[in-house]
Structure 1
């Protein structure tokens, strides 16, 4: 519970931190995203966890030269913090953005996550994730409002790819805002 409160306090402070950062395209931090996700969304399958939303925050960094062979993905770190008693997770990975038109884009991420959900003993209000460490993927469709601001609809998924005995997985749907430096 302390970790969730700390993460929520850090999330609340993020806009003030961002406002003090230089808008410099050559900096290490290239983009910040924040959003609200429908936790364990029942639009895709039966919800087993809380209906309390997740707050998503994600930081993206400049693509290092050695990743140019892989379409120059951006390293990223992020978190989905559940506002109730549902599973929260922290993740890291790589993200690729591809433009469909001048303003519309699609975005894919792949990496790993660590979560605080149930791994062995499910209850009526939880899923059984099997492992504390899992894979994390997301897909977004977005629109650039201008040079620095974008909005996107996102699907966020975590599962262990059946590397552990149980593999319920967690899928969230939502909307996110991005600010590019």
Structure 2
């Protein structure tokens, strides 16, 4: 399964460059985010990790915004959750995005993380294109925060592609 991660990451980069167009700013649009990565990157039990997230543009408080997502691994584990994120822009088109989410986890045939409730903390660094789509690399940690005696946790290294929701429908007319 490790052999498929690189081609999927290349596909994400291709999709990003294929949609470059109208100038905009990331903070102005709700975004749909897709990622592919490697689950449990620092352990031998690794698996391919795939995610889809919806990130709202309107802040709840200050510039902290809501998000919801689903995650699935090639060994059958899954997570669905919701949380908060913050986009910090620096330079012309670069950004740093920390996030924190809580969700429900099912280990399927994958790693047992010790509890059905799992927290995900993540940091991303990325680049935004002129049309408000972007790519980023993220490192996340999933853990039950000691809700159970067993709390092995897992780290995930991901490559994201983020696109404004409107881009899905601009060619449908």
| TMscore range, shorter length | 0.7 to 0.9
TM-score between both structures, scaled by the size of structure 1: 0.69
CA-CA distance at 1:60 after TM superposition: 0.9
Deviation digits for residues 10-29 of structure 1 (CA, Å, limit 9, x no counterpart): xxxxxxxxxxxxxxx9xx97
The correspondence of residues 152-163 of structure 1 with structure 2, limited to 5 A, is 152-163=136-147
Q: Which runs of 5+ in 2 are unaligned?
A: 1-24, 166-173
Quick check: 2:75–2:110 contact (8 Å CA) kept in 1?
no
CA distance in 2, matches of 1:147, 1:105: 15
Partner of 2:126: 142
Structure 1 equivalent of residue 150 of structure 2: 166
CA shift digits 1:8-53 (9 cap, x unpaired): xxxxxxxxxxxxxxxxx9xx97111111011211xxx22224x3x1
Matches within 5 A, 1:118-129: 126-129=110-113
- RMSD (Å) for aligned C-alpha atoms: 2.3
- Match of residue 115 from structure 1: 105
Aligned to 2:45: 48
Task: Show the counterpart of 1:95.
Answer: 85
User: What is the alpha-carbon distance in structure 1 between the residues aligned to residue 43 and residue 56 of structure 2?
Assistant: 35
Aligned to 1:30: 30
C-alpha displacement at 1:146, in angstroms? 1.6
Deviation at 1:63, TM superposition (A): 2.8
Which runs of structure 1 show a deviation greater than 3 angstroms over 4 or more consecutive aligned residues?
125-128
Higher relative contact order (CA 8 A, sep 6+): 2
TM-score, normalised to structure 2, is: 0.72
Kept in 2, the 8 Å contact 1:112–1:134? The answer is: yes
Deviation at 1:163, TM superposition (A): 2.2
Cα distance in 2 between the residues matched to 1:174 and 1:129: 19
